[in-house]
Amino acid sequence: MNPERLQNIKNQAISTILEAKSEKELEALRIEYLGRNGEMAKLIKSIPGLEPEVRKTMGSLINETKQIIEQAINAQKKNIQPQTGEQKDWFDFTVPGQKPPKGHLHLITTTIKEITEIFSGLGFKKVAYPEVEWDWYTFEGLNMPQNHPARDEWETFFVKDLIHPKYGSAVLTTHTSSGQLREMERAKKPPIRMLNIAKCYRRQIDASHAPMFYQFEGLVIDEGINITHLKGTLDYFVKQYFGPKRETRIRPFHFQFTEPSFEIDVTCIVCGGKGCNVCKEGWMELGGAGMVHPTVLKNGGIDPEKYTGFAFGWGVERLLMMKHKINDIRLLFNNELKFLEQF
């Protein structure tokens, strides 16, 4: 009799107890280890035969082991389903379930995921480019020279005291289109199938504008890309996102960095296209698109004689607000848990 043996008995007991599958088995194990003639009893009986100076230690060790085994048996009991009297048991299945903790992703995150998945089906690859960006990538390189009235469309935030000798002032990018030239520079050569989803910033705030918002930008450049591809892509997206009943229309519009340029409308989600106070004569504006302007291709180092491309840039919030009937964009950035937990 020594502490090693005791430890071995304990180990053996714990592993067999953990293996036990029924109360019956556990009861057998209890008898085997803790019963009147069990292992522990035998050990206790052997104590008087020990050297006097180890009797006390052994005694307390045996006691401790007994307790541990007992605890293990009790713990295992809870893990085992009762097997007797199954038929007669009354069972309350109306008891409320114990739910795992419930968290919530932000609606913008889930929408971005949805958008990314829809476009990834068409082979678009997601990218990320700077939010604080040079004027060149945001405006000038996109065919918007200094002092061009088209710049008025964007209420721009400028960064204080940061000007690059070649690329101009630093701004908070006003649109994801600033990723167009970055992507052309990265890819160096078509094919390009870019999906740029990013934070953008404009100096305005009201129910439909926040100073920070998200856009998603598609850019496709390749040989033989034409307007019908743009039409097909946007149709596909709208039907995937809003459902098959949604109709789209393309209207001429103007952007300096696309030619031709369009705006895409979708039939109003509220009135279904009859015309109401939310929409414009039955249509809701989704966003802009167009064929990449040859000057922009040139600025991105791509031969406009050989390649053509299309681009579109839409607001993420605009989409989700339409779909989830949210009437104020600022709700999305208030971070009230009562709002967040609805999604």
Partner 1 sequence: MNIFIPDSWLKDYLKTETPAKEIARYLSLCSQSVERMKKIGDDWVYEIEITTNRPDCFSVYGIARELNAILPRFNLKTKLKTLSNLKPQISGLKETLPLEVKISKSSLCPRFTALIFDEVIIKPSPKIIQERLEKSGIRAINNVVDISNYLMLELGSPMHTFDYDKIKGNKMILRESADGEKITTLDNQDRELPEGTIIIEDGEGRIIDLCGIMGGENSQVDEKTKKVLLFIQTYNPVKIRQTCQKMAFRTDAASRFEKGVDPEGVLIAMNRAISLFKENCQAKISSQLIDFYSQPQKEKSVKLNLDLVKKIIGVEIPKKQVITILESLGFKLQKESNQQQAYLIPHWRFNDINIPEDLIEEIARIYGYSNLTSNLPPTANVMTTNNTFKWESRIKQALKFWGFYEVINYSMVSLELLNKTDFDNEDCIKIANPLSEEWVYMRPSLIPSLMENAAKNKKEKIRIFEMANIYLNMGKNQLPEENLTLSILVSGETFVSLKGIFESLMEDLGIKDYELSSYPLEKTAYGKIFHPSRRAEINIKGKTVGFIGESKKDFNQKFCLEEKIFILDLDIAAIIEMANEEKKYKPISKYPPIIEDLSFVIPEKTYLKDIVDLIKKTSLIIQTVDLIDIYEDSRTFRLTYQNQEKTLTDKEVAEIRKKIINNLQEKLKVKLKGSKG
Cα separation, 155 vs 133, in Å, equals 15
- Of 85 and 97, which has the nearer Cβ to partner 1? 97
Cα–Cα distances (Å) from 65 to 44, 47, 71, in that order, read: 12, 15, 10
Q: How many residues bind partner 1 (CB under 8 A)?
A: 101
**209 contact partners, CB below 8 Å, separation of at least 6:** 202, 329
Structure tokens at 9: 């008995």
Among residue numbers 50 through 69, which ones bind partner 1 (CB under 8 A)?
57, 60-61, 64, 68
Here's the x/- map for partner 1, 127-166, by CB under 8 A: it reads as xx-xxxxx------------x-xx-xx---xxxxxx-xx-
Token couple for 285: 């504006």
Nearer to partner 1, 11 or 83 (CB): 11
Kindly tell me which of 83 and 204 has the beta carbon lying closer to partner 1.
204
173-192 binders of partner 1 (CB under 8 A):
187, 190-192
**C-beta closer to partner 1: residue 25 or 153:** 153
Which CB atom, from 85 or from 244, has the smaller least distance to partner 1?
244
**Residues 201 to 230 in contact with partner 1, rule: CB under 8 A:** 201, 203-205, 210-212, 220, 222, 224-229
Please list, in sequence order, all residues whose beta carbon lies within 8 angstroms of the beta carbon of residue 103, skipping any fewer than 6 positions away.
Answer: none
Least Å distance, CB 82 to partner 1, is 25
- Piece of the chain touching partner 1 by CB under 8 A; list 42-50, 89-97, 105-113, 320-328: 105-113
The interface with partner 1 within residues 284-313 (CB under 8 A) comprises: 291, 293-294, 308
**Contact flag: residue 271 with partner 1 (CB under 8 A):** no
- Backbone angles phi and psi of 270, in degrees to 5: -85, -55
- Contact assessment for residue 315 and residue 287, using Cβ atoms and an 8 Å cutoff: yes
* DSSP states of 277-307: SSSBTTEEEEEEEEEEPHHHHHHTT--TTT-
Judged by CB under 8 A, the stretch of 1-9, 32-40, 90-98, 266-274 that binds partner 1 is: 1-9
What the block records as the tokens of 6 is 């005791």
331 makes contact with partner 1 (CB under 8 A): no
Shortest distance (Å) from residue 253 CB to partner 1: 6
Burial of 262 per CB tally in 10 Å (0-12, 13-18, 19+): buried
